[in-house]
Structure 1
């Protein structure tokens, strides 16, 4: 029999990690969650997780998306996507705080076009160095 607590139905004691991470809104789509698992970006209790790996209440799930690591602990098992306030009740977020804006602003960034020279720039350099075939 399914339990209903504040709009969340939970009848299972475990769920697939890709389904659970999608249901609690850590990924936009279930296929994105499965792809992250296959790519090694999802860990359950310290071990790399495959998409079908089961998660249970109390498990620690670590997700690396866009260079940011999210650390959550499974509080409740759900397999259907719910609203954000209800999804927040299904996990405990233990993610580290993001760095202050001053530090992230001070990080060096490469200017656009400052990497490898373009073909046009290489030709101009060759012309200046006298290496043209004309």
Structure 2
């Protein structure tokens, strides 16, 4: 089965066109070799690809006939991505919440006072130590 069809069948990408674009950008490798969308995959192949700021590593267990349901995906692949990578992604999400929302405009006077007050609280805690 082609790599683009396989990654689409096991629900890592929403469309085959998205897989093709990832292949063209050299984001997908099979057994350490950069893959074209037409690259054939077989059981025991190790696929590494970058998606959503995570480098995912999966091993092909079996080849599905068609796109499979989310509950059946584990029959066709083994996820070997280390758990630290997912923890790092959660940390990235939490750090993005710190910044202002897009389209919120310039800070108001009250926002500015809150920011200054927050900075002063940090300084006072450091001075105590």
TM-score range, shorter chain: 0.5 to 0.7
Instruction: Answer 1 or 2: which has greater strand percent.
Output: 1
Is structure 2 residue 42 aligned with structure 1 residue 56?
yes
Residue by residue, what CA displacement relative to the aligned partner does 1:105-128 show, whole Å, maximum 9, x if unpaired? 468x77679xxxxxxxxxxxxxxx
Deviating 4+ runs (over 3 angstroms):
100-107, 109-113
Q: In 2 relative to 1, CA 112–45 (structure 1 residues): closer, same or farther, beyond 3 Å? A: same
Q: Which residue pairs with 1:73 in the alignment?
A: 59
Residue by residue, what CA displacement relative to the aligned partner does 1:12-39 show, whole Å, maximum 9, x if unpaired? xxx1000000000010111111111111
- Kindly state the Cα deviation for residue 70 of structure 1 after the two structures are TM-superposed: 1.0
Q: Which residue pairs with 2:113 in the alignment?
A: none
Higher relative contact order (CA 8 A, sep 6+): 1
Q: Which residue pairs with 1:12 in the alignment?
A: none
State which of 74, 83, 87 in structure 2 corresponds to 1:99. 87
Calculate the TM-score normalised by the size of structure 1: 0.64
Calculate the TM-score normalised by the size of structure 2: 0.67
Structure 2: 5+ residue stretches without partners: 103-129
User: What is the RMSD computed on CA atoms of the aligned residues?
Assistant: 2.4
Q: Which residue pairs with 2:26 in the alignment?
A: 40
Structure 1: 5+ residue stretches without partners: 1-14, 114-134
